[in-house]
Structure 1
Amino acid sequence: MSRASRLAPLPAAGEQPPRAVLRTLTVPSRFCGPPDSANGGYVGGRLAGYLDGPATVTLRRPPPLATPMTVEAGAEGSVRIRHAGTFIAEAAPAQDRPALRVPDTVSMAEARAAEGHSRYFQRPEFPTCFVCGTRRGRGDGLRIFPGLVRGRPLWAAPWTPDASLAAGGPSVRPEIAWAALDCPSGIAAIEAHDISEDAAILLGQMTVNVASLPAVGHEYQVVAWSIRREGRKLIAGSALLVQGGEVLAVARTVWLTVQRPVPRMTVGAEAAS
């Protein structure tokens, strides 16, 4: 039995939702993306934790910080979160899980050389982001700063998880692995397609396959690459590697390009189509 099946199902069309809140999910302010909303990868990992195995998370609205969100079980093993009646995100078992492979690998020396060598970090849009924020100190943010690997269409950076990210053991919590896979893929998508500065991208969907979680205090490589562009949709991949190229986790992400200022819009339906 999956974890999702143990939650109460969503009401049928026309029915009133149950009054009792069975479960809530709250994202601490530490795990922000933009200053006023949660990092999408982190939220995806938290929501995927209600399922068994690889999951696809679709984001519909910016997830609020430090605010309880209601967790509901949906159809076919899916799980949703809502805030004040607004549908925020949904996780479902992955129908097409990403394979545990990457288009190319890099050495740790190459990852270190590429770190920060990205157009994004010349003027970062979200300098306080939990994952890629340049203003986040060591032991606070992940400080993953992917840059283009010389001579290859691959972005890479080193990453050493801090002890505060552990789940009572040697490994980081699953949602931390999801977060680490989020921003690098967005940076790769932006730069591979030379998205202009008058546009922005929003994470619409993320599918993650985790074989093994990173251990705190060990150095890893985070790599990312563009897969393709479909109109406003940018599809990218990212992975966590150990030295030697073994893949611990891999993600496939769908980003949507929007004109600035970035609207607080529903993006999931378009990302999933």
Structure 2
Amino acid sequence: MSTTTIARQFNGPDHSGNGGYVAGLVAGPVAAGGGAVTSTLRVPPPLEVALDLSLDGSRSVLADGATVVAEAAPGAFDVDPAPFVGEDLARKGFEAYAGRVEHPFPHCFTCGTARAPGDGLLVFTGPVDDPTYPDTVAATWTPHAAFADTDGHLGSEVTWAAIDCPGGWAADIDETPMVLGRMTGEILSPVRADHEYVAVGTRRGVDGRKHHTGTALYALDGTLVARAEQTWIAIDISSFR
């Protein structure tokens, strides 16, 4: 067992952890074996609190005392990744990002418009202007060097965060506030700072309060770098502010 803390920088809603970042954090011990990992968030992850991270066989658990915050286990995909839409459509998507007009969590580490370069990721995915890709958002994105290790690679938690919020925007999070409930993710190759990528999110379907989405990160040549499938839960936003 180890102790870890979610720094305030890595928030989603103002007072709790970014879903993708926390999903990647708890997935870390399981992902060391390779393959996809499914992370489930049980409660809003607290910020600046010492949390226990433990591995029990193939299952990892992030806990705040007796409260399970999140857990992870080996996962699998049963659908194709969110589609590569190409650089041109992704650039247009970036310009059309709805979060610049209305944003439920403007300080979100991944997609918040109130964050500065090197403080937040600034992954701003907007609608893809092509009927070939319905219910899909995309953007070009260049990770800031502030998030890289000495080899120039992003940490896995940061990569998971980058492939988190595009799913929320594909599900119209500006119209229906929601938070991440479950995420199955896989990093296929390291993400490098100062390299440009295409981030994509696509809506899979809705089941009551649950919104199902897929996300992906591609190199500009269309090589798949990371992907995820997600379940988002619609919320009463007043309880997250």
- Name the TM-score, length of structure 2 as normaliser: 0.90
Q: Which residue of 2 aligns with 1:235?
A: 212
Counterpart position of 1:252: 229
Partner letter of residue 82 of structure 1? Answer: A
C-alpha deviations, 1:78-136, integer Å up to 9, x for none?
01111132110001111x2366x535322222211111424443111111111001011
Q: Counterpart amino acid of 1:227?
A: R
Q: Give the one of 235, 238, 241 matched to 1:261.
A: 238
Deviation of the 1:260 alpha carbon: 4.2
State the structure with more CA Rg: 1
Does the 8 A contact of 1:98 with 1:209 survive in 2?
no
Give runs of aligned pairs for residues 74-223 of structure 1, distance below 5 A.
74=56, 76-94=57-75, 96-97=76-77, 101-151=80-130, 152-153=133-134, 154-190=136-172, 197=175, 199-223=176-200
Cα deviation code 1:219-251 (max 9, x no counterpart): 101001011122221110000001121111110
Q: Which runs of 5+ in 2 are unaligned?
A: none
- Residue equivalent to 1:8: none
The code of the aligned residue for 2:74 comes to P
Conserved 8 A contact 2:163-2:215: yes
Offset at 1:209? 1.5
Normalised TM-score (structure 1): 0.80
Which residue type is aligned with residue 126 of structure 1? F
For 1:249 and 1:178, the matched residues in 2 are separated by: 8
Secondary structure at the residue paired with 1:130? coil
Query: In structure 1, what is the Cα distance between the partners aligned to 2:82 and 2:212?
Result: 14
Question: What is the rounded CA distance, in whole Å, between the counterparts of 2:186 and 2:77 in structure 1?
Answer: 6
Supply the AA of the counterpart residue of 2:213: A
Give the secondary-structure state (helix, strand or coil) at the position aligned to 1:50.
Answer: helix
- The CA RMSD over aligned residues, in Å, is 2.0
Q: 1:40 to 1:235 in 2, by over 3 A?
A: same
Q: Note the C-alpha offset of 1:252.
A: 0.1
Aligned length: 235
Q: Kindly indicate whether the alpha-carbon contact (under 8 Å) linking 1:204 and 1:254 is maintained by their aligned counterparts in 2.
A: yes
Report the equivalent of 2:17. Answer: 38
Please report how far the alpha carbon of residue 149 of structure 1 lies from its aligned counterpart in structure 2 after TM superposition.
0.8
Q: Secondary structure at the match of 1:236?
A: strand
**SS of residue in 1 equivalent to 2:238:** coil
Name structure 1 gaps, 5 residues minimum.
1-21, 265-273
Change (3 A) 1:187 1:242: same
